[in-house]
Amino acid sequence: MKLDVIPIHVANQPPGEPGLSGNAPPLLREVVEQVRRLIESGEPSAIDLSALPLTPADLDWLQEKLGAGEIAVTLQASGESTLNETACPGVWWVTHRNEQGAVNSQFIEVAFVPELVKAHPQDVALGLETLEFMIADRQGDAD
Amino acid sequence: MQGPLIDTLARQGVSRRTFLKYCATLASMMALPPAAGLAMAEAMAAARRPSVIWLPFQECTGCTESFTRSHSPTLEGMIFDMISLDYQETLMAAAGHQAEAARHTAMRDNAGKYLLVIDGSIPLDQDGAYSCIGGRSNLDILKEAAEGAAAIIAMGTCASYGGIPKANPNPTGAVSVSDIIKDKPIVNIPGCPPIPVVMTGVLAHYLTFGSLPELDAKGRPKAFYGETIHDRCYRRPFYDQGKFAKTFDDEGARRGWCLFELGCKGPVTYNACATVKWNGGTSWPVESGHGCLGCSEPDFWDAGGFYKALSLPADPLKFAAAAAVVGTGAGVAIGFANRSKKGGAKSAHETTTLDDLEA
Amino acid sequence: MNELQFLTWVRGTGLNIAVAIFLLGVTWRLFEIYSLGRKKDLSMPRHASGASGFHTVFRRSLAPPGMLKRSPVSYIGGYVFHIGLAVVVFGFAPHILLISNLTGLSWPGLPSQFIDLAAVVTMAAMLVMLFDRISKPVKRFLSTFEDWFTWALTFLPVLTGWMAVQHLLLPYTTMLALHILSVEILLIVLPFTKLFHAFTLFGSRWYNGRVNAHKGVPV
């Protein structure tokens, strides 16, 4: 039996999808504040977009206003995450997805480099160990 | 196996970035500021895992199932990596006297520091004989284990509020953890079963800040139980438009209209199902077409029926007909009394004649 | 008792008691009043056009000439809050569901935003009328405890219902329970106070109209 035989047409999004709520424009001002703080004190900050009453149209509007920058980072860590720089350097649009591709959380991050992109010193140390091990291994082979 | 959590995770192939990402989402779900995600990740990564003793009382193991079968085993299952689970009957390999010995060892070694997780209600009737483990009543075991606990987490509606065992007529005299233990901090995580991420959130908060999250008047973490199902429901606009499904298979039900008239308890139920959803965000009861049962509220089982709308009488109006008959009877009786009074006044009436006036 | 138990009680036992007392009071008083009867008027009936019980029932719903100007608050406010009450009570979907469950009668509901507006307008009209009653010396002099009491009992269900929907002050569950409780108190008190005019209004108008029609006076 095909699915369309079942007479169900579920409206997940109610008809007349909510448009702009007017909550997005004030966020731009907050981003301006955060960028200013980043320049002055180097302190990074973030806005949790899933914690705010924003409609899908609001998010589209924001994303369109901020535009796309030169760097787009994709992170594969139990689902895909994208950390994309916007047209305003230092402002990043961060989206975390789960394995099924559904958005888990969404942030606007204001930082020179998002925290998640940086490698942690402990992990770097582990990498160094691996490298040294590799060299030792090669030398062992050469001898 | 004691050591920083991040090492345990690394051994299981969970990278630091995966963990950071998870903490960012967790902080967002708990309505904490974005910076808290990082703080959580740092604190938890380095934390010494707290000892947890998990006691099952009058329960169905559904709460344990909810966690162990949660959708992303590496992440939701992280609660089992965040803690040192020293006693859990369903999951532990030991049995019988060995299991009891393990509990006593954990309680002695971590006195005053361990977290106590309880699922199931505690029966008090017949001296607690309705539910015993190793020949001891649940009440006895709970009191002993609570003694040295830093905090208690009541998992599920049974431990939080008595739940189904407490449903009318409550044959076993079941009560909740907070009915018995008064001198320890208690977090209630109600739900039948509760949402797995709530447990993770509470533990993450405890590990990061060393305290339990902010609770509401019913002892539930506000971050997850702060709003009603109804207020966050994607079908809410239909309620406002007055569009309701009248049966489970009519046109309204197919169009995904509001389920209020089919008995949905969303308006009086505080839980996070509408936002967190179930099974890795696949769906949740209302999305599947069935109204909310109100399972995270005390005594939801006795709240007038799952399929009866909230604005309907919880019980049939038993006295209505009798009252109407009695009222009619009283009205008629008083009517007759008034008539006889009138008749009496009429017969007692004396006509005034001209002679009377002249006299 | 927690709030869900409170809500279940007002939906169950509380409603049961309130409806029983309401029905008892209403049947009692209706039978008592209408079985009183009246003395037969032996005079010749006079005829004047427009003089009848039926006419009076409708005519008394309109302000007599000049009165609308003399006490606009009483007439306009009275109209607004009575119509507003009817809209809120009979237009809100959960109310209709209750009525259809009890009586089998059903009709389509109004959008909740409209109900919300009607509730606010109703409360505003009632507050204006209360203020008028307090500030006008004559009205205040004529007011008894019953007037203040019945005003409060009528106002509370609207206020608590609106507050429940708007999530004000208390959690929705508690507010909803208080709303239902306030309606139950109203139901219990209604048959024994001036609120009984909801039942006797048209009967007494018709009676007055008939007596006057007998005398040939259209009022």
CA B151 to chain centre: 19
- Per the CB < 8 Å rule, is C31 touching B331? yes
> What pLDDT score was predicted for residue A87?
93
Evaluate if residue C137 carries a pLDDT over 80: yes
Asked whether residue B204 falls in the same domain as residue B94, the answer is yes
- CATH of residue B261's domain is 4.10.480.10
Q: Which B residues 275-294 touch A at CB under 8 Å?
A: 280-282, 287
Domain boundary among B261, B276, B302: B302
- Per the CB < 8 Å rule, is C24 touching B231? no
Q: Which B residues 220-249 touch C at CB under 8 Å?
A: 228, 230-231, 239-242, 244
- Are A98 and B281 in contact by the 8 Å Cβ rule? The answer is yes
Asked whether residue B108 falls in the same domain as residue B135, the answer is yes
Tokens representing A79 are 């689902």
Residues lower than pLDDT 50 in chain B: 1
Residue B129 contacts C, CB cutoff 8 Å? no
Asked whether residue B147 falls in the same domain as residue B79, the answer is yes
Instruction: Suggest the residue from B7, B12, B16, B17 to mutate for an interface test with chain A (most A CBs closer than 10 A).
Output: B17
> What pLDDT score was predicted for residue B3?
64
A-contacting chains (≥3 CB pairs under 8 Å): B
Closest CB from B294, B323, B335 relative to C23: B323
Residue A17 DSSP SS3? coil
Given this structure, which CATH class describes domain C3-214? Answer: mainly alpha
Rounded to 5°, angle at Cα C207 from C203 and C211: 175
In a domain, B109, yes or no: yes
Note the pLDDT tens digit of each residue in C27-55: 999 999 988 877 788 888 888 888 888 88
Please give the residue range of the domain that contains residue B279.
229-302
**Count of pairs with CB atoms under 8 A, one residue in A, one in B:** 78
Asked whether residue B161 falls in the same domain as residue B254, the answer is no
In a domain, B138, yes or no: yes
Residue C167 contacts B, CB cutoff 8 Å? yes
Domain boundary among B283, B302, B321: B302
Which pLDDT tens digits describe chain A residue by residue (143 residues)?
455 555 555 555 444 445 677 778 888 999 999 999 999 998 899 998 877 777 778 888 899 999 999 999 999 887 899 999 999 999 999 999 887 787 888 899 999 999 888 888 888 998 999 999 999 988 877 66
Residue closest to B335 by CA, chosen among C208, C27, C207, C197: C27
Phi-psi category of residue C43: left, alpha or beta, with phi > 0 → left and psi -120 to 50 → alpha = beta
- Are A95 and B21 in contact by the 8 Å Cβ rule? The answer is no
Residue closest to A94 by CA, chosen among A32, A48, A53, A60: A48
In chain B, the DSSP E strands lie at 51-56, 84-88, 114-119, 122-123, 132-133, 136-137, 149-155, 174-175, 186-189
In a domain, B216, yes or no: yes
Domain boundary among B208, B225, B242: B225
Q: How far apart are CA A46 and CA B33, in angstroms?
A: 8
Question: In sequence order, what DSSP letters do the residues of C196-210 get, joined into one string?
Answer: GHHHHHHHHHHHHHH
Strands B51-56, B114-119: pairing is parallel
> What pLDDT score was predicted for residue A20?
72
- Are C52 and B353 in contact by the 8 Å Cβ rule? The answer is no
- List phi, psi (to 5°) of B189: -120, 75
- Per the CB < 8 Å rule, is B326 touching C24? yes
In a domain, B331, yes or no: no
Question: In sequence order, what DSSP letters do the residues of C84-104 get, joined into one string?
Answer: HHHHHHHHSHHHHHHHHHHHS
Per-residue pLDDT, averaged over C78-104, amounts to 93
Q: How far apart are CA A128 and CA A122, in angstroms?
A: 10
Asked whether residue B198 falls in the same domain as residue B294, the answer is no
In a domain, B314, yes or no: no
Q: Is the bond into B193 cis (omega within 30 degrees of 0)?
A: yes
Give, for A97, the enclosing helix (H) or strand (E).
Answer: strand A91-97
Closest CB from B24, B33, B256 relative to A96: B24
> What pLDDT score was predicted for residue A14?
45
> What pLDDT score was predicted for residue B118?
95
> What pLDDT score was predicted for residue B78?
66
In a domain, B357, yes or no: no
Residue B317 contacts C, CB cutoff 8 Å? yes
Which pTM value belongs to this model? 0.80
> What pLDDT score was predicted for residue B194?
93
Note the pLDDT tens digit of each residue in C170-213: 888 899 999 999 999 999 999 999 999 999 999 999 998 988 88
Closest CB from C24, C101, C167 relative to B312: C101
Residue B332 C-alpha, separation from nearest chain A C-alpha, in angstroms = 57
Q: How far apart are CA A78 and CA B199, in angstroms?
A: 20
Does domain A20-117 sit in CATH 3.40.50.740?
A: no
Asked whether residue B293 falls in the same domain as residue B184, the answer is no
**At what angle are helices A56-66 and A24-41 packed, to 10 degrees?**
40
> Does the CA dihedral A52-A58-A61-A64 come out positive or negative?
positive
Q: How far apart are CA B348 and CA B344, in angstroms?
A: 6
CA atoms within 13 A on the CB side of A45: 16
Q: How far apart are CA B262 and CA C97, in angstroms?
A: 11
- Are B218 and B188 in contact by the 8 Å Cβ rule? The answer is yes
In a domain, B324, yes or no: no
Q: Which C residues 44-83 touch B at CB under 8 Å?
A: none
Domain segments of chain A: what residues?
20-117
Closest CB from C16, C32, C37 relative to B318: C16
Q: How far apart are CA B53 and CA B94, in angstroms?
A: 14
Domain segments of chain C: what residues?
3-214
Q: How far apart are CA C72 and CA C63, in angstroms?
A: 10
Asked whether residue B221 falls in the same domain as residue B233, the answer is no
Residue closest to A45 by CA, chosen among B21, B23, B26, B37: B37
Closest CB from A12, A105, A115 relative to B234: A12
Q: Is the bond into B34 cis (omega within 30 degrees of 0)?
A: no
What is the residue type of C23?
L
> What pLDDT score was predicted for residue B307?
93
In a domain, B350, yes or no: no
- Per the CB < 8 Å rule, is B299 touching C15? no
Q: Which residue shows structure tokens 């307008």?
A: C121
Residue C206 C-alpha, separation from nearest chain B C-alpha, in angstroms = 21
